[in-house]
Amino acid sequence: MHINILAFGIAKEICGGSSLQLEVPDHATAGDLKQLLAEQFPRLGGLASFLLAVNEEFAAPDTRLSARDEVAIIPPVSGG
Amino acid sequence: MDIQIQISDKPLDIMACIAQVTKPNAGGIDVFIGTVRDTTQGKAVLRLEFEAYQSMAIQEMHRIAEQAAAKWPVHSMTIHHRTGVLHIGDAAVVIAVSAAHRAAAFEACRFAIDTLKKTVPIWKKEVFEDGEVWVAAHP
């Protein structure tokens, strides 16, 4: 299935834009997608951390994805 | 508890934040204002650029206010965060908290800014004369 992914901050620069699409196996989890992203964009692995949010909530690695989810790459936050 | 959360690309109105938490039952109001500093580790900063995952950031800021209300007897909390290009001295974040007594207001305000810096999906880029850096991105 196709997953739409938002990218913010330095992740936007690493991924080459503020949104991207990736093809993942049906029943893929957030952890699977994170691994795919790290393979496709090795510089993500060089960050202090990167998390995924699914539908505006930080996602545990075992969170199941569906094609309608809004997924976002969350590099280390630095607000305030 | 009254919670007021806002993300804006316009200058923050500090007095409006204070007015929102000013209540007859409040005996103390604590205000934290995060401002743009002119140097980072000895290097002159030209400006900061803030970006937010707005919908999620608003939810996370609400969560912080609710957690604060669960921990301390606070009456109202307002958190406003700025996005876009900020210059030296500009306010990036304003947190105003009111409570019957000062200890709760101080502690809840400190908790709110400390937690915001850890969990709210907002990012800042520091721009120097010779380059730019996303803050905290790399170990």
The predicted model gives B47-52 an average pLDDT of: 98
> Which residue bears the tokens 């205000």?
B31
Closest partner CB to A6 (pick from B53, B57, B119): B53
Q: Are B34 and A80 in contact (CB under 8 A)?
A: yes
Percent of chain B with pLDDT over 90: 99
Q: Which pLDDT belongs to residue A46?
A: 96
Cα-flanking dihedrals φ and ψ of residue A59, to 5°?
-105, 135
Q: Which pLDDT belongs to residue B84?
A: 98
Instruction: Kindly indicate whether the ipTM for this predicted assembly is greater than 0.85, answering yes or no.
Output: yes
Cβ <8 Å between A79 and B57: yes
Q: Which pLDDT belongs to residue B68?
A: 98
Mean pLDDT of chain A: 97
Please tell me which residue of chain A has the smallest CA distance to B48.
A79
What confidence tens digit (pLDDT) does each residue in A18-50 have?
A: 999 999 999 999 999 999 999 999 999 999 999
Question: Residue ranges per domain, chain B?
Answer: 2-129
Q: Which pLDDT belongs to residue A36?
A: 96
With a CB cutoff of 8 Å and minimum separation 6, the contacts of A32 are A24, A25, A65
In this prediction, residue B64 has a pLDDT band, given cuts at 50, 70 and 90, of very high
> What is the Cα–Cα distance from B51 to B59, expressed in whole angstroms?
16
Question: Residue ranges per domain, chain A?
Answer: 10-15+54-80
Q: Is the dihedral of CA B49, B52, B54, B58 positive or negative?
A: negative
Q: Is residue B46 classed as helix, strand or coil in its secondary structure?
A: strand
Percent of chain B with pLDDT over 70: 100
What confidence tens digit (pLDDT) does each residue in B117-135 have?
A: 999 999 999 999 999 999 9
Which candidate in B12, B45, B53, B117 is best for mutational testing of the A interface (most A CBs within 10 A)?
B53
Q: Which pLDDT belongs to residue B2?
A: 96
In this prediction, residue B77 has a pLDDT band, given cuts at 50, 70 and 90, of very high
* Burial (Cβ within 10 Å: 0-12, 13-18, ≥19) of residue A74: buried
Cβ <8 Å between A56 and B50: no
Fold that domain B2-129 belongs to in CATH = Aldehyde Oxidoreductase; domain 3 (3.90.1170)
Q: Which pLDDT belongs to residue A18?
A: 97
